[in-house]
A = this chain, B = another copy of it.
Amino acid sequence: MILGNQVEWALHCMTVLARMPEETLVSSKVLAEFHGVPKEYLSKAMQALAAAGLVHTQLGPRGGYSLSRPANKISMLDIVEAVEGDKKTFNCQEIRRNNPCTNLKTVKLPVCNIAAVMYQADNAWRDVLRKKKLSDVIADLKEIVPRPVLDKSLDWVLGKS
């Protein structure tokens, strides 16, 4: 039960976009180089973000991505689900129906109580991510990353855009 790397990539890309001045577009090439990951593959993650409506895309030369709404209206859950899908982490196969001494194959049953707990855990996980907005992430970033590094990074990306 491990999240793919795409999630880490997408989250970091979104923090980059969130720090850009309004109307600035960043191409997947620049995002890929900045994070040291394969451009074509990162592009898939960006497409997922675009499909989820989290980023706006612009084709053509000097095209790229920008946030489609303010960073305080985008949660980490939005990003994770855009890339990873919204399937639950626990997949109940209804093995209780295989019970050989009853005939539960067709009967309607309430959700299995074991699955219910797993879903509850899944929801607790999602709640944390839902409450954390991209704007909060940026705020945290400014706490732990030295200002010069932050500024240099921003300039680097802007210089390529």
Chain A residues with CB under 8 Å of chain B are 1-5, 7-9, 11-12, 15, 33-37, 76, 84, 87, 89-93, 95-96, 98-102, 104, 110, 113-118, 120-122, 124-129, 132, 137, 140-141, 143-144, 149, 152-153, 155-156
CA distance A32 to B7 in the complex (A): 36
> Would B152 and A101 count as touching, CB distance under 8 A?
yes
Copies in the complex: 2
Contact A95 B128 (CB under 8 A): no
B101 near A36: Cβ-Cβ < 8 Å: no
Complex CA–CA separation, A115 to B11 (angstroms): 10
Asked if residues A95 and B3 are in contact (CB atoms below 8 Å), the reply is no
- 14 CB contacts below 8 A, A to B, read A2-B89, A3-B91, A8-B90, A9-B95, A34-B99, A36-B95, A36-B98, A89-B89, A99-B149, A100-B156, A102-B149, A113-B137, A122-B125, A124-B128
> With the chains together, A69 CA to B141 CA distance in Å?
45
In the complex, besides A89-B125, A118-B129, A122-B125, 9 extra interface pairs with C-beta distance below 8 angstroms are A8-B114, A34-B100, A35-B95, A35-B96, A36-B98, A36-B99, A89-B89, A101-B153, A117-B140
B110 touches A12 (CB 8 A): no
For A137, list chain B residues within 8 Å (CB). 113-114, 117
Contact of A114 among B15, B122, B128, B143 (CB under 8 A): B15
List residues of chain B with CB within 8 A of the CB of A8: 90-93, 95, 114-115
